[in-house]
Structure 1
Amino acid sequence: MTITTLRHSSGSSCKIHSFGATVISFATDREHLFLSNDAILDGSKAIRGGIPLVFPVFGPSTAPSTMPQHGFARVNHWDLIESTETTASYTLRLADVTAGRGEHNPWSIEEVAKNGIDVLLKYEVSLGADYLLTTLTVQNTGKTAFDMEALLHSYFAVPEKATHDNSRTFITGLDRYSIVDKVTQESGHAQPEGEPVVISGETDRVYDPFEGKTSAQVQLVTPQRNLDITAEGSNAISCVVWNPGKEKAKAMPDMHDGAHEEFVCVEPGILTDRMIRLEPGDEAFLKQTIKAIVNK
């Protein structure tokens, strides 16, 4: 396992762990990503924090598949193929996927051998004075089409333990997006125009675009700084907002005590209609730009 550090002449920095090609730090004058104090960094499980990569499924697999939650991209070692002071590029080939395939699904070893499925994942990270750009590209290099979802599971740090302070921490830019609430099991309603998204206890919602938009502009407002989060992709861009709340966080062995007050996940992804089909030779991409605006 290796950690690659990028440094900009302005003083900003970024760190990428080779396990899952997980960005574990992005800092300007302060850190903007959350990493649990109890995160496991030895490659035995997905890293709790930073920007884990979700592919080829979001959330739990559908039975009878035994693929683990969020797929295999975040639980395998990625190869660093190029780096400079401010950029890094990683690849993951299906042949190198040793964990997380599960059984009874198209990505299992048996099914891949039978159907000729193959994929090449590329991940590029670029650091600027006040921004971080991450781009995931999925190439179907096999002989058979496959269904996929992809998501950047971004954990953003919230200063002053203010995640659940709705007057100081909130999200804008999701007006009119339809909502699937996984906590209340409600769906079929939309985010009211002009009303920010807030975190109240356990929060797990998928916001789907109202017109199949292939871009999204979201702002996370916190006490000390705001983050402009811009995402675009080859397909409609949804956005997941997640925080486990106090009780669920306590049950997570890699989440330190009180961590639920210190972060919120704002996660752009290709999730609309819960799968897209990628034909042989085709590509899909998902790009995110995080720009830090420090409050004076």
Structure 2
Amino acid sequence: MDRPNRPAALASTPGQPESQVQTTSSDTRVSATLPTGDSVEVLLYGATVTSWKTPARENLFVSSAAILDGSKPVRGGIPLVFPVFGPAPAGSKLPQHGFARNVKWEFLGKSTSEGESSVKLDFGLSWATLPEDWRTKWEHKFGLVYSVTLAPGSLSTALVVSNEGDEAFEFQSLLHTYLSVDDIQNVQIAGLDNSPYIDKVPSATAKTQSGLIAFSGETDRVYSPPTPPSDPVTVQEGGKTRFRVVRDNLPDVVVWNPWVEKAAGMGDFEPKDGWKNMVCVEAGSVSAWTKLEKGDVFEGAQTIYAE
């Protein structure tokens, strides 16, 4: 699929000396560190990014009570939502947000850029490797490849979905990114002005954004910006840019913060005042269903820049 903003593949350069990019892998997680000190860690359960550090700080929020033993999805980091966003449609056997974040993925390997300024980690999941109980809940034959690319000051995540069966299927997908901030009450989000959105608090109401997004209570919104995905969504704190999120072939942006009462009601959300230190800015394709015919492929990606 030819797209102008498609993330470039990284290939090892023959004849280069032993890599200065440090990687470790086990049967539970994979991590990589660049010579600059930037690092990333990915839990194989759900292919969930659980840490992304630049030399200055950790950029992702992960609950101190997050379950990391593969028994339930991780509260924080970047969980993958597929093939359904939110509650499944009537008649479906799938749980909320589907199964991609609920199963163990395979680590497919790494590649580094020439000069070793970047490293790409690839993960895979398919219908053939899906546990039997999940196959009975979603019977479509599919393939997923998830690429996590670490570069100085940025992290890119790209999901490729292929239809490997004989019948078409529909799906939704989302990169459920929890960004770390110092104080949500000092945070504003730019880049979504004039965007229509569905406000889920207190009920699904159609609205249009006017100006910057600010936070003073529980926030759960699905934005469908009229501007191209390549136009950045910017997270500002104290008037200064903290993150820029650039999407590729992902038309929607979910903005979420649980605030006091919802955080208090989530058993795996700690500390209970941790809502002050996070904001979810989630690139996805969730306002409509994406249909894949036999043999078709879909790719969506985001790049997050830490300022």
Q: TM-score, normalised by structure 1?
A: 0.87
How many percent of aligned residue pairs carry the same amino acid? Answer: 39
1:65 alignment partner in structure 2 = 92
- Structure 1 position 186, deviation (Å): 4.9
Q: 2:76 aligns with which of 26, 40, 49?
A: 49
How far apart in 1 are the matches of 2:237 and 2:245? 13
Q: Is the 8 A contact 2:234 2:241 kept in 1?
A: no
Q: Go from structure 1 to structure 2 and tell me whether the alpha carbon gap of 1:100 and 1:50 turns closer, same or farther (over 3 Å shift).
A: farther
String of CA shifts for 1:6-33, please: whole Å, max 9, x gaps.
Answer: 1111111111110000001111110000
After the TM superposition, list the runs of 4 or more consecutive aligned residues in structure 1 that deviate by more than 3 angstroms. Answer: 213-216
Secondary structure of the corresponding residue to residue 149 of structure 1: strand
Partner of 2:195: 177
The answer as to whether partners of 1:216 and 1:237 remain within 8 angstroms in 2 is: no
Residue 207 (structure 1) aligns with = 223
1:5 corresponds to which letter in structure 2? S
Distance 2:189 2:298 in 1: 27
Are 1:250 and 2:264 matched, yes or no?
yes
Picking from 17, 39, 53, the partner of 1:13 is 39
Mapping of residues 1-296 of structure 1, within 5 Å:
1-28=27-54, 29-84=56-111, 86-98=119-131, 101=134, 109=136, 112=139, 117-159=140-182, 162-163=183-184, 165=185, 168-192=186-210, 195-210=211-226, 213-223=228-238, 226-233=242-249, 237-256=251-270, 257-272=272-287, 274-293=288-307
Contact 1:75 1:100 in 2 (8 A): no
| Unaligned residue ranges in structure 1 (runs of 5+) | 102-107
Q: Which amino acid in structure 2 is aligned with residue 150 of structure 1?
A: S
Q: 1:100 & 1:286 partners in 2: Cα distance? A: 27
Pairwise CA distance, 1:200: 2.0
Shift of 1:191: 1.0
- Mapped contact 1:6–1:87 kept (Cα < 8 A): no
3-state SS of 1:247 partner: helix
CA distance in 1, matches of 2:106, 2:86: 25
Alignment check: 8 A CA contact 2:171 2:291 kept:
yes
Q: Does the 8 Å contact 1:67/1:100 carry over to 2?
A: no
Using the TM superposition, give the Cα deviation of residue 99 of structure 1 relative to its aligned residue in structure 2, in angstroms. 7.8
Inter-CA distance 14–222: structure 2 relative to 1 (3 Å threshold):
same
User: Deviation digits for residues 103-137 of structure 1, max 9, x if unmatched?
Assistant: xxxxx52772xxxx310000001111110111111
Q: Which whole-Å CA distance do the structure 2 matches of 1:110 and 1:100 have between them? A: 7
Q: Using the alignment, how far apart are the partners of 1:14 and 1:290 within structure 2?
A: 13
- Are 1:9 and 1:129, in contact at CA under 8 Å, matched by a contact in 2? no
Contact 2:82–2:98 at 8 Å: present in 1 too?
A: yes
| Residue 69 to residue 242, structure 1, CA distance change in 2 (3 Å) | same
**3-state SS, counterpart of residue 124 of structure 2:** strand
Q: Secondary structure at the match of 2:213?
A: coil
Q: Secondary structure at the match of 2:51?
A: strand
TM-score, normalised via structure 2 length:
0.84
Provide Cα deviations, 1:15-64, integer angstroms capped at 9, x if missing partner: 11100000011111100000000000011100000000000000011222
| CA–CA separation in structure 1 for the residues paired with 2:176 and 2:231 | 15
Q: Is the 8 A contact 2:93 2:137 kept in 1?
A: no
Q: How far apart are the structure 1 equivalents of 2:111 and 2:58?
A: 21
Q: Deviations over 1:55-90 (max 9, x none)?
A: 000001122223111000001100001125622100
Between the aligned partners of 1:59 and 1:275, the Cα distance in structure 2 is 13
SS in 2 for 1:249: helix
Whether the aligned pair in 2 keeps the contact of 1:126 and 1:133 (CA below 8 Å) is yes
User: Could you list the runs of 5+ residues in structure 2 that have no partner in the other structure?
Assistant: 1-26, 113-118
Question: How many angstroms does 1:95 deviate by?
Answer: 2.1
8 A Cα contact 2:39 2:53, kept in partner = yes
C-alpha RMSD over aligned residues: 1.8
* AA of the residue aligned to 1:268: A
